[in-house]
Amino acid sequence: MALEVGEIVAEASFPLTRDSLVRYAGASGDFNPIHYRDDVAQTVGLPGVLAHGMLTMGLAVQPVVDWLGDPGKVLDYQVKFTRPVIVDPETGAVVTVVAKVGAIEDAVVRIDLTVTFGEQTVLGKAQVRVVPPAG
């Protein structure tokens, strides 16, 4: 597969609800109340209930995994958490991901992720190093 730097290889949007956060808490074991109780989130200075950082990170890499067709082709994945994803009790939140080729070195491709919520980037320096799909 001939890839070019700057080429978008995957895009996706992920709607989140408070129910999504409760299900993720059950799966991950992270029952910190800032992820499901507004009063607790506000007590610690947050504007409201936040999506779990690891949930956001997992959603962000999913379009790349889908594009690759094999999660074993992910060699490295790193992000910097820059802003929280606030999940409104009624309207929820939508996390949007754009995956673009950032660099090509030998048989490894660096995919740069732009991960946004409400027009703001929520993950900085989000990069996935992969073995590109054949063909």
Average pLDDT score over the chain: 96
Alpha helix positions (H), the chain? 18-28, 38-43, 53-68
What residues form DSSP beta bridges with 120? 117
Q: Would you tell me how many other CB atoms lie within 10 Å of the CB of residue 17? A: 15
pTM for the predicted model, two decimal places: 0.93
* pLDDT(129) > 80: yes
pLDDT-derived band at 108, boundaries 50, 70, 90: very high
Through-space distance between the first and last CA atoms of the chain, rounded to whole angstroms: 4
* pLDDT(131) > 90: yes
* pLDDT(135) > 80: no
At 25 the pLDDT is 97
- Rounded average pLDDT over 40-54: 97
At 106 the pLDDT is 87
At 134 the pLDDT is 81
pLDDT-derived band at 1, boundaries 50, 70, 90: low
- Rounded average pLDDT over 84-99: 97
- Rounded average pLDDT over 34-57: 97
